[in-house]
Amino acid sequence: MSEDQWVKIKEILSGKKTDETVKVRGWIYRTRSSGNIAFIIIRDVTGTIQTTVKKGNISDEQFEDAKTALIESSIKVSGTVKKDDRAPGGYELKVNDFNVVDFAEVFPITKDQSPEFLLDQRHLWIRSQKLTSIFKIRSTIVGAIHKFFRENGYYEFDAPVLQPNQCEGGSTLFEVKYYDNKTYLSQSWQLYAEAAVFSLEKIYNMGPTFRAEKSKTSRHLSEFWMAEMEAAWMNLKDITEVAKDEIRFILKEVVEKNNEDLKILGQSVDDLKKLSEKEFPTITYSEALDILKEKENLDVEWGKDLRTIEEEKLMNHFDAPVVVTNYPIEIMAFYKPRDPDDKKTALCFDMIAPKGYGEIIGGSQRSIDIADMTKRLKDMGEKIDNYEWYFDLRRYGSVPHSGYGLGVERVVAWICGLDNIKDAIPFPRTVTRFSP
Ligand code: 4AD
Ligand code: MG
């Protein structure tokens, strides 16, 4: 049977098929029967629809199958579409042919199960309406990121996943046995991207990123996807503007494509649309501390990183993402340069999302001072030899350049309004979980 003979449930719910006989295939979402009638809700990727299966309208054998097939059984049916205001979605399918493709065993997932149980059953829970909506939105976000950069003249450029160096501090590196040596899983694409901007000038990438994050938080994964950009000739101010444009573009795409999914997740399409048209403010780290002191009566010692709680309190005063620049240089990665106009700080930024979702983007201008980077790496106990290739990039026609990384799952969690970042990625890896 050719593809186009199958009608998608959404098409039926749109009213275009009323009183027609259609063929639908999918999975049993809910089922109940009494006597000579069975009510079966079928789901496909586009939605769910109620069907009624009556004894007499189909063969006795098919009716037996319809009564006994458990949820998640895969089925193919044919039936007449009837408008019925009592049915969820407003339409019902009166079945005249019912075929089970595969009778499901008793589905292990029932109502009100614990998050841990659902994570154990992730391979099955992935079918839930919630996760289906999240991964549709995630797909839009990933597509939007590619589209954004490609439409703005960036080349996609790939870095190795196995890397001998740290980028964001040695303590979160995942070590890998590499023949008779050891190496690490990528913490960032950045260092290799810096090699490529001297030819390709504007580049981006989205790829798996690994951090041995020992803390269990609702924002940290051990494996996540980072969307990074790097550009020659750009400074800190330039990239903060790119980052703001990127986020607004993502929001616009999601609003345009995922109305239904946002509603299922309880997110306001209107609010996200407004956000996509807003200016996002930029403040400095020092200004953030002032806000915390004046408006939240919260004293943060100058020089300390902003913790989750402080980011949350700060965001009480903003309804759009905020760019925070000029963090204290001491707490910054080795490649972030000193700001010549404010020597205690680095030319760097984080973008912080509203509503407690925290840092969604981190980036900086890149240091071109080999001596300073050498000192900072030595202080961290790094082998300088490993970074000579990186210093070479400053030796042969260096130019000012900058870049940032966006945490894909952080953005998905924020836009979908998720309680935990684990639901923003299909199969999450955390300190305590690396299966299924
Ligand atoms: O701020 P980070 O560590 O920046 C970098 O890695 C730079 N080298 C990027 C660059 O300039 N090219 O990470 C970037 C973003 C964070 O803002 C956060 O959104 C996300 O990656 N992130 C994580 N997301 C989930 N789980 C984790 N453990 C994360 N660590 C960082
Ligand atoms: Mg960061």
Ligand 1 atom nearest 189 alpha carbon: 12
Ligand 1 atom nearest 335 alpha carbon: 8
Q: How confident is the model at residue 170 (pLDDT cuts 50, 70, 90)?
A: confident
Q: Which ligand is nearest to the CA of 187?
A: 1
Ligand 1: centre distance to CA 326 (Å)? 17
* Span of 2-11, 222-231, 241-250 with lowest mean pLDDT: 2-11
What percentage of the chain's residues is helix, strand, coil (to nearest 5)? 35, 30, 35
Q: What is the pLDDT of residues 295-320, one digit of tens each?
A: 999 999 999 999 999 999 999 999 99
Q: What is the pLDDT of residues 186-205, one digit of tens each?
A: 999 999 999 999 999 999 99
Ligand 1: residue whose CA is nearest its atom 24: 407
Tell me the sheet residues that pair with 52. Answer: 39, 94
Side-chain-facing half-sphere of 278: CA atoms under 13 Å: 17
pLDDT at 216: 87
Sign (positive or negative) of CA dihedral 312, 314, 320, 325: negative
Q: What is the pLDDT of residues 374-396, one digit of tens each?
A: 999 999 999 999 999 999 999 99
Q: How confident is the model at residue 83 (pLDDT cuts 50, 70, 90)?
A: very high
pLDDT (mean) for 251-266: 98
Nearby residues for ligand 2 (ion, Cβ within 5 Å):
362
Orientation angle between helical segments 190-200 and 388-395, nearest 10 degrees? 30
Closest CA to 230 of 387, 352, 424, 393: 393
Contact partners, residue 64, CB within 8 Å, separation at least 6:
none
Q: What is the pLDDT of residues 237-251, one digit of tens each?
A: 999 999 999 999 999
Ligand 1: residue whose CA is nearest its atom 1: 362
Query: Is the pLDDT at 1 greater than 60, yes or no?
Result: no
Ligand 2: centre distance to CA 361 (Å)? 7
The DSSP 8-state label assigned to residue 328 in this structure reads B
Percent residues over pLDDT 70 in the chain: 99
pLDDT at 199: 98
Residue type, 201: E
**Mutation test residue for ligand 1: of 359, 364, 366, 421, the one with most atoms within 8 Å of CB:** 359
Q: CB–CB of 132/45 below 8 Å? A: yes
Ligand 2: centre distance to CA 3 (Å)? 47
Strand ordering across the sheet containing 322-325? 155-156, 202-210, 223-232, 401-407, 358-365, 348-353, 322-325, 282-284
Q: CB–CB of 344/353 below 8 Å? A: no
Opening angle at CA 35, ends 33 and 38, nearest 5: 30
Q: What is the pLDDT of residues 68-82, one digit of tens each?
A: 999 999 999 999 999
Residue 124's alpha-carbon distances to 37, 129, 373, 424, 427, in angstroms, are: 29, 12, 48, 16, 11
pLDDT at 132: 98
Q: CB–CB of 363/406 below 8 Å? A: no
Q: DSSP assignment of 7-51, as one string?
A: PPHHHHHTTTTTT-EEEEEEEEEEEEEETTEEEEEEEETTEEEEE
Percent residues over pLDDT 90 in the chain: 95
Ligand 1: residue whose CA is nearest its atom 2: 362
Ligand 2: centre distance to CA 234 (Å)? 19
pLDDT at 2: 58
Ligand 1 atom nearest 167 alpha carbon: 8
**Mutation test residue for ligand 1: of 209, 217, 351, the one with most atoms within 8 Å of CB:** 209
Q: DSSP assignment of 55-119, as one string?
A: BTTB-HHHHHHHHHPPTT-EEEEEEEEEE-TTSTTSEEEEEEEEEEEE-----S--SS--HHHHH
Q: Which ligand is nearest to the CA of 209?
A: 1
Sign (positive or negative) of CA dihedral 411, 416, 420, 425: negative
Computed over every residue of the chain, the mean pLDDT equals: 96
Is omega for the bond preceding 281 within 30 degrees of 0, making it cis?
A: no
Distance CA 169, CA 161 (A): 16
Distance CA 335, CA 284 (A): 19
pLDDT at 215: 82
Contact partners, residue 173, CB within 8 Å, separation at least 6:
166, 184, 185, 187, 212
Q: CB–CB of 332/378 below 8 Å? A: no
Q: CB–CB of 224/240 below 8 Å? A: no
Closest CA to 46 of 273, 259, 269: 259
Query: Is the pLDDT at 4 greater than 80, yes or no?
Result: no
**Mutation test residue for ligand 1: of 349, 410, 430, the one with most atoms within 8 Å of CB:** 410
Ligand 1: residue whose CA is nearest its atom 28: 220
pLDDT (mean) for 345-374: 97
- pTM, to two decimals: 0.96
Ligand 1 atom nearest 172 alpha carbon: 28
Tell me the sheet residues that pair with 98. Answer: 77
Rg (CA), the chain: 26
Name every protein residue with a CB atom under 6 angstroms from any ligand 1 atom. 167-168, 188, 190, 211, 213, 220-221, 224, 226, 228, 359-363, 403-405, 407, 409-410
Q: How far is CA 305 from the centre of its chain?
A: 24
**Mutation test residue for ligand 1: of 191, 226, 331, the one with most atoms within 8 Å of CB:** 226
Q: How confident is the model at residue 169 (pLDDT cuts 50, 70, 90)?
A: confident
